């Protein structure tokens, strides 16, 4: 078991799924569900002669942050790119389901519970989306996770944290967008289609996936913060992500509803206005959008220290 105190100052970007899961909750409170000892590995990979992991590349469990029960899902990008298959998807689905059922049981037995004492779900995304080896099962898992998010809505806030090496792409980009709040570091990346896939399908002149600066200012945390696609931008440490979760955990569900990016006619209209703006602008670079948001010197934002960035950046309003 990793040392919790050492984990707090560890880079979120460099941490594995289990380190993130343990470090995001209070010291000594994390209990893993369906861990490696249970040997829940993918039957599809074994049949195909592929290597398996006994946790299928995803860590699930429950802990506490203060008095808040926290159900944790943490994906491991080092195993087949954090891809989602049947077993990993089932672990995600059932963790969210357990949180919702636990909420209902608590409220029924203790109707005077404070908001801080009600459970939340935290999902640490590190994934390229569906596992191609078991595509149908992976697609079904995506749909089932979305269904559980809808069942949890209005009861159990679901917080996405994104700051790991692979980022969050593919169908899981949709899943992250459907959560209640998104917390990223500037090294986190979020999108639908990954840079390599765009280059493969559309050519290098459309998007050069080898240009890391371009990739990060298009899909990275700073751009997503300017666009309003993430709610909070934090430093690259487990402690910083945990501190943001600790601030969010006691909030009433109504406040999470206001943070959402989708889920109401007004939010759909806002998204459509952003699409119309992009069609009108035809931006050549993400920094064109930063300028449109009112940032007079967008180039300076790229390498600006996080505290300075947050103090002066203007976010896009549509």
Provide the CATH number for the domain around residue 75.
3.90.226.10
pLDDT band at 197 (very low <50, low <70, confident <90, very high): confident
Q: Is residue 86 part of a domain?
A: yes
Given this model, what pLDDT does residue 41 score? 82
Q: Is residue 218 part of a domain?
A: no
pLDDT at residue 167 greater than cutoff 90 = yes
Q: Is residue 98 part of a domain?
A: yes
Number of domains in the chain: 1
pLDDT at residue 133 greater than cutoff 90 = no
Q: What does the pLDDT average to over 187-207?
A: 88
Q: Is residue 65 part of a domain?
A: yes
pLDDT at residue 147 greater than cutoff 90 = yes
pLDDT at residue 135 greater than cutoff 90 = no
Q: Kindly report the pTM of this predicted structure.
A: 0.94
Q: Domain range spanning residue 172?
A: 4-190+230-261
Q: Is residue 183 part of a domain?
A: yes
Q: Is residue 278 part of a domain?
A: no
Q: Is residue 140 part of a domain?
A: yes
pLDDT at residue 63 greater than cutoff 90 = yes
38-42, 128-132, 218-222, 283-287 — which one is most confidently predicted on average? 218-222
Q: Is residue 244 part of a domain?
A: yes
Given this model, what pLDDT does residue 50 score? 85
* Residues 191, 175 contacting (CB under 8 angstroms): no
- Residue with more model confidence, 115 or 1: 115
């Amino acid at each position: 078991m990793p040392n919790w105190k050492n984990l707090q100052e560890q880079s979120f970007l460099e941490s594995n799924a289990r380190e993130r899961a343990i470090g995001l909750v209070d010291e000594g409170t994390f209990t893993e569900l369906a861990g490696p000892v249970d040997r829940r590995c993918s039957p599809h990979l074994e049949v195909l002669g592929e290597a398996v992991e006994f946790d299928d590349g995803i860590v699930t469990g429950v802990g506490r942050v203060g008095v808040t029960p926290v159900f944790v899902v943490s994906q491991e990008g080092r195993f087949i790119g954090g891809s989602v298959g049947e077993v990993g998807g089932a672990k995600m689905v059932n963790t969210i389901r357990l949180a919702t059922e636990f909420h209902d049981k608590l409220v029924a037995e203790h109707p005077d519970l404070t908001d801080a004492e009600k459970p939340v779900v935290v999902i640490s995304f590190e994934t390229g989306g569906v596992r191609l080896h078991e595509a149908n099962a992976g697609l079904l898992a995506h749909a089932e996770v979305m269904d559980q998010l809808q069942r949890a809505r209005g009861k159990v806030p679901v917080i996405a944290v994104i700051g790991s090496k692979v980022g969050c792409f593919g169908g899981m980009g949709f899943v992250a967008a459907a959560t209640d709040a998104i917390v990223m570091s500037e090294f986190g990346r979020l999108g639908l289609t990954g840079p390599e896939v765009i280059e493969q399908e559309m050519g290098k002149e459309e998007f050069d996936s080898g240009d890391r600066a371009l990739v990060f200012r298009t899909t990275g945390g700073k751009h997503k913060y300017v666009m309003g696609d993430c709610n909070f931008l934090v430093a690259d440490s487990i402690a910083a992500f945990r501190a943001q979760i600790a601030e969010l955990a006691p909030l009433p569900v109504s406040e999470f509803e206001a943070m959402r990016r989708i889920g109401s006619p007004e939010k759909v209209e806002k998204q459509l206005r952003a699409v119309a703006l992009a069609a009108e602008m035809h931006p050549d670079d993400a920094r064109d959008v930063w300028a449109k948001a009112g940032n007079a010197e967008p180039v300076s934002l790229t390498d600006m220290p996080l505290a300075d960035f947050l103090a002066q950046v203007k976010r896009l309003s549509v």
